[in-house]
Structure 1
């Protein structure tokens, strides 16, 4: 069984202009990091001209689809039934994108099939991770 789930999604950038261009993005979930979701935007869609990856909790995504959540760099809220707003805050500015809620629900269902919500800590190998930290670098 694969330990990684990747799902392309179509994000719509909310800009000052009335037009909302589509941006391809990829959601990723890795069983080895069971609390985190990564959302990657390709280089052509970013101001820096390089791939940009945001990491946030699966719990934040699930909660943000039900009501406004987040107080830091990533904030999520529903926008009607069929859209979810994701805000990404950085020193350079804020990017606001809309994603179809159904795509996010499908992704969350796939992550839950891989690692059920509430059982994330059972995926962690704390003994191995501690041994790696304590290992002599020589």
Structure 2
């Protein structure tokens, strides 16, 4: 049995207007994909009006709580004493959200309780993953 962690977090969406709108995003961690976390934003918070989910490294989130991290589409950095800034970059533009650092630390601690950092590789089934990539459904081809 696999335990999955889902944690709602309050975030403030930074926009050009001086007022930041509050949204509830959801952090998600599944030990079956032990290196990754997902952050889902509800449809009302997006330009297209559809739910958006970003997947990124758990290690990026963890490190970004203490110092700026990320070179690609997702960047995380501390902001003041109690907030963390998360930037999500796409061809359509960049979304910047502020999240309470304490909420993020609770989430990271919960993920580490399930799969300790540095032990993720023990959760992987490389044979199964390779078979899935190769399109092997478990049946052998006996043609000659």
Structure 1-normalised TM-score? 0.95
Secondary structure of the 2:60 match is helix
Deviations 1:106-130 (A, max 9, x none): 0000000000000000000112222
> Distance between the aligned counterparts of 1:132 and 1:13, measured in 2?
38
Secondary structure of the 1:86 match is strand
Following TM superposition, where does structure 1 have runs of at least 4 consecutive aligned residues deviating by more than 4 angstroms?
none
Alpha-carbon deviation of 1:3? 2.1
Residue aligning to 1:49: 49
Residue aligning to 1:61: 61
Secondary structure of the 2:84 match is strand
Residue aligning to 1:74: 74
Q: Is the 8 A contact 1:38 1:56 kept in 2?
A: yes
Residue aligning to 2:3: 3
Matched residue count: 138
> Distance between the aligned counterparts of 1:84 and 1:36, measured in 2?
19
Alpha-carbon deviation of 1:2? 4.4
Higher-Rg structure is: 2
> Distance between the aligned counterparts of 1:61 and 1:121, measured in 2?
18
Q: Is the 8 A contact 1:3 1:32 kept in 2?
A: no
- 1:1-138 equivalences under 5 Å are 2-134=2-134, 135=136
> Distance between the aligned counterparts of 2:54 and 2:129, measured in 1?
23
Alpha-carbon deviation of 1:105? 0.2
Structure 2-normalised TM-score? 0.91
> Distance between the aligned counterparts of 2:131 and 2:35, measured in 1?
21
Which structure 2 residue ranges, 5 or more long, are not aligned?
A: none
Secondary structure of the 2:72 match is coil
> Distance between the aligned counterparts of 1:69 and 1:49, measured in 2?
29
- Root-mean-square deviation over aligned CA pairs: 1.5
